[in-house]
Amino acid sequence: MKQETIKKLESRGVKIKDLVPILYDLQKPYIPELTMDQCEESILAVLDKRDIQHTILTGIALDELAEKGMLDEPLLSILRQDDGLYGIDEILALGMGTLYGTIGSTNFGYLDKVKPGIIKKLDTTPERVNTFLDDLVCGLVAAAASRLAHRNKDLKELNIKQSTD
Ligand code: MG
């Protein structure tokens, strides 16, 4: 299902390589030795989780149904207009961000606010319904960022322990 999820993201205009620099910029201030390869690895590792795959596939399915006009009103118009008071897209994606710890919600909030790179583009693609997709991308990157942060801390603690053993 991981490959299907990656393919589905690509079919909606989101490539993993678009997300790598966003994650890098987000975590570089905290992990100075961070590399682009580690960022890509973290995104792919997060995509191994079934919860992440389910969230992405569910959100994109709703975007696609809205795009095809296959949802009933009033939900159809709400999704097509990306109604500012509709917050279910954020709630769904936020769940993904916090799978790797609570700092995922901070990362998610930051990405949702600043909308770096592809996230801004998705938010302003008028011919497509990307109501869920922009938040899903924020959630995916937020989860990968939290994973990196926790692993980095684990690694540091292990180094301290080894140097004092
Ligand atoms: Mg949205």
What digits encode the pLDDT tens for the residues 37-82?
999 999 999 999 999 999 999 999 999 999 999 999 999 999 999 8
* Whole-number pLDDT of residue 155: 84
Q: Which tokens go with 14? A: 């989101």
Task: Report the separation in Å between the CA atom of 155 and the middle of ligand 1, taken as the mean of its atom positions.
Answer: 35
User: For 118-125, which contacts have Cβ atoms below 8 Å and span 24 or more sequence positions?
Assistant: 118/13, 118/14, 118/18, 118/19, 118/22, 119/22, 121/13, 122/13, 122/14, 123/82, 125/13
What average pLDDT does this structure show over 18-24?
Answer: 97
What average pLDDT does this structure show over 125-145?
Answer: 93
Task: Report the separation in Å between the CA atom of 71 and the middle of ligand 1, taken as the mean of its atom positions.
Answer: 17
Task: Report the separation in Å between the CA atom of 164 and the middle of ligand 1, taken as the mean of its atom positions.
Answer: 48
Task: Report the separation in Å between the CA atom of 90 and the middle of ligand 1, taken as the mean of its atom positions.
Answer: 6
Task: Report the separation in Å between the CA atom of 157 and the middle of ligand 1, taken as the mean of its atom positions.
Answer: 38
Cα 18-140-85 angle, rounded to 5 deg = 105
- CA distances in angstroms from 1 to 54, 109, 113, 142, listed in the order given: 9, 27, 30, 21
Structural domains of the chain, ranges and CATH numbers in brackets: 2-7+19-164 (1.10.3760.10)
Task: Report the separation in Å between the CA atom of 156 and the middle of ligand 1, taken as the mean of its atom positions.
Answer: 36
Question: What is the reported pTM?
Answer: 0.93
Task: Report the separation in Å between the CA atom of 136 and the middle of ligand 1, taken as the mean of its atom positions.
Answer: 8
Task: Report the separation in Å between the CA atom of 96 and the middle of ligand 1, taken as the mean of its atom positions.
Answer: 14
What's the pLDDT band for 5 if we cut at 50, 70, 90? very high
Q: Which tokens go with 150? A: 């926790």
Task: Report the separation in Å between the CA atom of 13 and the middle of ligand 1, taken as the mean of its atom positions.
Answer: 15
* Whole-number pLDDT of residue 7: 97
Task: Report the separation in Å between the CA atom of 126 and the middle of ligand 1, taken as the mean of its atom positions.
Answer: 13
What digits encode the pLDDT tens for the residues 96-124?
988 998 889 999 999 999 999 999 988 77
What average pLDDT does this structure show over 11-28?
Answer: 96
